[in-house]
Structure 1
Amino acid sequence: MKKVVFLLTIAFSTLTFAQEAEQKMGPPSGNASLGDFYGAQVSAAIEKSAVSPALLQKKLKKSKKVANVAIKGKVTDVCDKKGCWLTVETENNDKFLVKMKDYAFFVPTALKGKNVVLEGSAEKKIISVDEQKHYAEDAKKPQSEIDAITKPQEEIRFVASGIKVVN
């Protein structure tokens, strides 16, 4: 019986320590310098084939999902908790959310304000009120802005397999 209690105590302590370590873990460090990449390497050929967010929007009007696409844009926000998502601004000041494929990599908050090429897939999705509020809370938006979210919204979602910092 003492062995069982001892093993349970060890297991509980290990689990608690792991959860505390995960909660303290933030986005990766780094300056997001020109040429840095996150996730899969974005080749020069892919970088040259990158389309504008406006062209991506046109493609998504014809097809609900576009796979294997590269897009160039400016990062406007990065998840402060883990660096697990970012937003990119389009030419007409719209923004779209970018998640990392398979949650396999994260980006530093220093990516804010930088131009990037994203490689991955995009689709139009209806985003629930709860999900919109979750991302607004992650982005540390004011409570008044979070409370103003009252209806689902259609938006572009991009799933990046690779991200490269460019001019």
Structure 2
Amino acid sequence: MKKLVLIFMIAISTVGFSQETAAQKAGPPEGNALVGDYYGGNVSAKAEKNAITTTQLEKKLKKAKKVENVAVKGKVTEVCDKKGCWMTVETENKEKFFVKMKDYGFFVPLALKGKNVVLEGNAETKVISVDEQKHYAEDAKKSQAEIDAITKPQEEIRFVASGIKVVN
């Protein structure tokens, strides 16, 4: 009887592990990222109307290291090829900031690249370690020379999005 229970437990854990591994290997979600599409939580009409520019966000973050419950409008320049679990958004002065999805709870399609979006969530200025910078450079399929050129921590804006909506 004990052997039967043990075999049953191993079979269940193997099936669960196989499904998790398949999900982890899955790429970004499919989709065309059309105007009106949203990812994660729905971006409220109020947030969309009151969304600030990325330059305004930078100014707010100079006064306080963290800004909560903010909506920002910007253009997506890069999306994680592996899962769609992060992206970069370009500022008006052509700098970029990094966006992660809240609680790793949703992903975005590669088609979001080049689209204008409204992000709703929290932003902060953080110092990013060399290892973390290299990790994301590898995800972005940067060349080995670009990865090797990362040699010191860097301060940058990090945004944790609870919702993202594609806009004009």
> TM range, normalised to the smaller chain?
over 0.9
- Equivalence map 1:17-166=2 (5 Å): 17-166=18-167
Decide which moves more: 2-11 or 54-63. 2-11
Between the aligned partners of 1:13 and 1:53, the Cα distance in structure 2 is 46
AA aligned to 2:72 is I
Q: CA deviation at 1:2?
A: 4.0
Q: CA deviation at 1:104?
A: 1.3
Alpha-carbon distance change, 102 to 11 in structure 1, aligned in 2, over 3 angstroms: same
Q: CA deviation at 1:106?
A: 0.9
RMSD (Å), alpha carbons = 1.4
SS in 1 for 2:52: coil
Q: Which runs of 5+ in 1 are unaligned?
A: none
Between the aligned partners of 1:29 and 1:65, the Cα distance in structure 2 is 32
Q: CA deviation at 1:15?
A: 4.3
AA aligned to 2:129 is S
Q: CA deviation at 1:141?
A: 0.8
**TM-score (structure 2 length as normaliser):** 0.93
Between the aligned partners of 1:12 and 1:123, the Cα distance in structure 2 is 39
Between the aligned partners of 1:5 and 1:100, the Cα distance in structure 2 is 39
AA aligned to 1:100 is M
Deviations 1:119-166 (A, max 9, x none): 111000000000001111111111110111000000000011110000
SS in 2 for 1:27: coil
Deviations 1:89-144 (A, max 9, x none): 00111110001111111111100000000011100000000000111111111111
Q: CA deviation at 1:81?
A: 1.2
Deviations 1:14-47 (A, max 9, x none): 1442243123311111000001011111122211
Q: Which runs of 5+ in 2 are unaligned?
A: none
Deviations 1:43-98 (A, max 9, x none): 22211111111111111010010111111000001111111111000011111000
SS in 1 for 2:107: coil
**TM-score (structure 1 length as normaliser):** 0.93
